[in-house]
Amino acid sequence: MSSKREYTAHFDGGTNILHLSKVNKVIKRDIRYWGYQIWDTACCEDCAVTSNGNHFPIHNPIKQEHGFNYFSDRKATNNEAEYIALIKLLEYFKYEYPYCCQQQGIHACERDYDKTVNLTIKGDSKLVINQVFGDWETRAYNLKSFNEYAKELVHALTGTNGLVVENLFLEISTSHSPRDEHLQRSVDKWARGSYVD
């Protein structure tokens, strides 16, 4: 029997105002923060089950990253932050994940592995999910470059070239994750803390 590589990833981003103290003067700067977490859902031990039946380890995710940037030339938007979180997640699977597979000696030709990597991407932004993976049009000028790059990454990951590991291919499914869902709320809180630490 073959082993599945199955991952569930939650991404989130948002905006806030950062108060910087400079020579007894408070400067307000717009913050755009983002983060993502990936769980190995093929795991069976020590797993919890979400409301839709998906399993995820209750311990640490296998990969997580968060960050922020701030600027004063214009106001940051939540949608931009959500896009950045998704893009960083997709970049991990394009640039880092294949390298990790090679380091671990994982190849599709091994009898106990399927050739397909199943990735379920969840986020609380219907706009980003539907613009990248659905048929929603991207009308906002500030989101067009984000959308184009995200789609390029999706095409590279799911196209004929696979994951640049021997015959490994990524299948992506998506679903909207309400903001009050436990994992989504947890990822948002963790991402928000990126500029507090």
pLDDT for the residue 43: 60
pLDDT for the residue 84: 95
CA gyration radius for the chain? 18
pLDDT for the residue 27: 65
How far is Cα 129 from Cα 90, in angstroms, rounded to an integer?
Answer: 13
What 8-state DSSP symbol labels residue 2?
P
How far is Cα 147 from Cα 163, in angstroms, rounded to an integer?
Answer: 21
How far is Cα 96 from Cα 117, in angstroms, rounded to an integer?
Answer: 14
For β-strands 47-49 and 55-57, DSSP reports them as antiparallel
Q: How far apart are the first and last CA of the chain?
A: 45
Are 61 and 89 within 8 A, CB to CB? no
pLDDT for the residue 110: 46
pLDDT for the residue 61: 82
Give the tokens for residue 147: 């959308």
Instruction: Classify 131 as helix, strand or coil.
Output: helix
pTM of the model: 0.83
How far is Cα 76 from Cα 13, in angstroms, rounded to an integer?
Answer: 11
Smallest CA-to-CA distance from 34 within 85, 86, 109 is with: 85
Domains and CATH numbers, the chain: 3-13+36-65+76-181 (3.30.420)
Tell me the pLDDT of the chain (197 aa) as tens digits.
456 678 889 999 998 877 766 666 666 678 889 999 998 876 655 555 555 555 555 567 888 999 988 776 677 789 999 999 999 999 998 888 877 766 665 544 444 456 678 889 999 999 999 999 999 999 999 999 999 999 999 988 887 665 655 566 778 889 888 887 777 888 888 888 887 64
